[in-house]
Structure 1
């Protein structure tokens, strides 16, 4: 083959090889592009699948949130319904409990033998235990439901301590314990009723777990805060029980004062924790086993004048009968309570006329020769009448402000406000006859 032909063939082979290489590279590129295209499609499908799964999860989450919200709302409604039920039930239960208190008191008046008086005291203690338990359960329910609205104002600690001393001194004396209140010329910002309940429960608990020595209540000023201390010389609280102190139904494992321990259900400090939370009053304590415990309540300092003293609880001290011939207009729609109250008042030598509603009470006043010295009424009467309105109509009919008292088992603030605005005294059912007698003597003085 000629050299020229050989050269041409070699050149053509090179060209062919270059073309083949270019074609192969082009095909590889197309293959890679196709692979990338396939990969992109696969990734897009995966993204779509994951997006669908995410949307489905979000929808389930939204449904779960909606279910949780509905469950929370139902739980809150159930809690409020429970509170309303307990409030209503407490009123119904307090009616016969009040009648029992009055009947037992009347029975005590006619007991001549020691055995009979002993049985009366046992029944009275049982009734008081029932009353305390019922009120405590109602208080816990109201606090948990958030229906308690503190009325914050200036509270004189000197006045408050005087009231607490009147309540607890007889109990301390009975058990041979000392109860001291250091002078407290201070005013704090709080709800007087709720703060008093906190101190009542702590002092009661302190007396319960103190066998010897006593309880001391005092204050310390700490800048804009007043710290109230309640110290006892009781059995103390073991360190491993500190976290459980404020839990419901927690009772000290160390033996309590046996004369005070009966009836205790471990609810006092549970109430304290809830009330303190509602008032935003921090409560702490320190304790040493065998040495005693000190509770600290930090309350904002008030702006009122120090040293104001109100003689609160004075009316609760026995003053003797002093009711001979007192004319009482008694307005009560519960037959058992009406009979028991009438029997008790007549044992105190009062002259009683009975009514169950406003019209009936006004009919009793047709005899102008009989004008009541005092009016005692339940708040909820027959025909939907309210005791506060009935008292107002009786006063208007007589043209004079007759001393009046409402005795009710209704725990609502509306009753308190209605009585306060009309200048009417208020007592809660079940009432203690000795306190009723003292209050009547006070109103008639």
Structure 2
């Protein structure tokens, strides 16, 4: 074969090989493109599926949020309804409880035998336990519902400590414990009633869980904050109980035991936490098992170091008698009226009873009989209010007769109405000793 032909053949082979290679590359590219196309379609389908799933999840989440919102509204409504129910129920229950307190007090003065006096004391303790439980349940309900509005004022700690000493001195002495309050001439910014309740509950717990030694209440000032310390020499709080002490119905144990070391219902510190939260007063504690516990309450210092004593904080004069005191008693509950009348007459008072404003004015007659003091329930027959009855009696007599509202209504509106009218107020159930002391003070 000629050389030229051979060369042409070789050249054609090379061209053919190049063409084949190009065709193969082109086919590979087409295959890759088709593969990419299939992959894209697959990814698009997966994205569509995930998008649909996401939309479905969002719809379910929206429905869940709506359901949660409805459940929250129902829970809040139920909570408020519970608060209103407890408030109403406590008022109805406290009325006969008040009558029982007054009747037992009158009965106690008639007892001459040791056995009779012992039975009276047992009944008094049972009534007191029932009263404490009712007040505690109502307090927790109101605090949880957020309906408690603190009234921040200047509170004299010296006056507050004096009242607490009077409340707990006898309890400490009965247990053979010392109870000391370090004097402090300073005032703090707080709600007088809530701060007192906080310290009452802490002191009650300290005395309950202390069996030797005593309790000391003192203060330390740090800039614009005053720390109130309540220190006891009691059992102390074990590490495994420190997170639970502020929970409802928690009652402390000691030494790894299972039986509570003290009485009570385990609600005192639960109330403390809620009240302190409402006031913005941090409450902390430190404790050593077998050595004791110190509770700390941080309260803002007042700019006024010596405030005037508030209502109910002044010392009650002692030794004033009630013999011959004329009392206009306005009360629509027959049992309470009978018990209160019996008690006042045991104190040698002259009582004229009434159940409404009209009856109260009728009892005055032509004003020949002028009462030394008016004692009235807030909610009377015919929708009358005790504060309004007192106002009409004063207007009828033309003089500002001392007056006292006694009520089981826990609302702050009653407190404000009494304060605005210049009328003292006591909550039912009444403590006869406190009632007698306040009457003596108002008449002094």
Q: Is the 8 A contact 1:158 1:307 kept in 2?
A: no
1:177 matches 2:177: yes
2:223 corresponds to which residue? 223
1:421 corresponds to which residue? 420
1:136 matches 2:130: no
**Alpha-carbon separation, structure 2, partners of 1:395 and 1:20:** 123
CA deviation after TM superposition for structure 1 residue 252, in Å: 2.6
1:119 corresponds to which residue? 119
CA RMSD across the alignment: 2.4
CA deviation after TM superposition for structure 1 residue 440, in Å: 1.2
CA deviation after TM superposition for structure 1 residue 11, in Å: 6.5
In the TM superposition, what whole-angstrom CA distance separates every residue of 1:38-81 from its partner, at most 9, and x where no partner exists? 22222111111111111111111121122222222222221121
Change (3 A) 1:418 1:198: same
**Alpha-carbon separation, structure 2, partners of 1:387 and 1:203:** 35
Secondary structure of 2:293 counterpart: strand
Secondary structure of 2:234 counterpart: coil
Q: Which TM-score applies when normalising by structure 2?
A: 0.91
Q: Is the 8 A contact 1:246 1:270 kept in 2?
A: yes
Q: What runs of 5+ residues in structure 1 fail to find an aligned partner?
A: 256-260
**Alpha-carbon separation, structure 2, partners of 1:79 and 1:56:** 34
**Alpha-carbon separation, structure 2, partners of 1:324 and 1:3:** 156
CA deviation after TM superposition for structure 1 residue 250, in Å: 2.1
2:258 corresponds to which residue? none
Q: Is the 8 A contact 2:229 2:297 kept in 1?
A: yes
1:329 corresponds to which residue? 328
**Alpha-carbon separation, structure 1, partners of 2:185 and 2:231:** 19
State how 1:315-394 maps to structure 2 within 5 Å.
315=316, 319=319, 322-394=321-393
Deviation larger for 354-363 or 19-28 = 19-28
State how 1:164-203 maps to structure 2 within 5 Å.
164-203=164-203
**Alpha-carbon separation, structure 2, partners of 1:43 and 1:238:** 61
1:274 corresponds to which residue? 274
**Alpha-carbon separation, structure 2, partners of 1:202 and 1:406:** 29
**Alpha-carbon separation, structure 1, partners of 2:32 and 2:185:** 93
CA deviation after TM superposition for structure 1 residue 386, in Å: 1.1
In the TM superposition, what whole-angstrom CA distance separates every residue of 1:256-309 from its partner, at most 9, and x where no partner exists? xxxxx8851121111112211222222222223333222111111111124867
Q: Is the 8 A contact 2:159 2:314 kept in 1?
A: no
State how 1:14-413 maps to structure 2 within 5 Å.
19=19, 21-254=21-254, 264-306=264-306, 312=313, 314-315=315-316, 319=319, 322-413=321-412
**Alpha-carbon separation, structure 2, partners of 1:161 and 1:382:** 40
Q: What runs of 5+ residues in structure 2 fail to find an aligned partner?
A: 256-260
CA deviation after TM superposition for structure 1 residue 175, in Å: 2.9
**Alpha-carbon separation, structure 1, partners of 2:7 and 2:235:** 120
Deviation larger for 241-250 or 94-103 = 241-250
Q: Is the 8 A contact 1:162 1:312 kept in 2?
A: no
In the TM superposition, what whole-angstrom CA distance separates every residue of 1:340-390 from its partner, at most 9, and x where no partner exists? 111111222222222222222222223321222211111111121111111
**Alpha-carbon separation, structure 2, partners of 1:290 and 1:14:** 103
Deviation larger for 271-280 or 421-430 = 271-280
Secondary structure of 1:314 counterpart: coil
Deviation larger for 282-291 or 158-167 = 282-291
Change (3 A) 1:245 1:161: same
**Alpha-carbon separation, structure 1, partners of 2:251 and 2:29:** 84
Change (3 A) 1:25 1:389: same
**Alpha-carbon separation, structure 2, partners of 1:326 and 1:53:** 83
Q: Is the 8 A contact 2:252 2:262 kept in 1?
A: no
Secondary structure of 1:244 counterpart: coil
Secondary structure of 1:135 counterpart: helix
CA deviation after TM superposition for structure 1 residue 245, in Å: 2.1
CA deviation after TM superposition for structure 1 residue 37, in Å: 2.0
Secondary structure of 2:324 counterpart: coil
In the TM superposition, what whole-angstrom CA distance separates every residue of 1:147-174 from its partner, at most 9, and x where no partner exists? 1121222211111111111222222233
Secondary structure of 2:367 counterpart: coil
Number of aligned positions between the proteins: 438
CA deviation after TM superposition for structure 1 residue 22, in Å: 4.3
**Alpha-carbon separation, structure 2, partners of 1:290 and 1:416:** 44
CA deviation after TM superposition for structure 1 residue 404, in Å: 0.6
CA deviation after TM superposition for structure 1 residue 7, in Å: 7.5
Q: Which TM-score applies when normalising by structure 1?
A: 0.91
1:431 corresponds to which residue? 430
Change (3 A) 1:5 1:208: closer
Secondary structure of 2:73 counterpart: helix
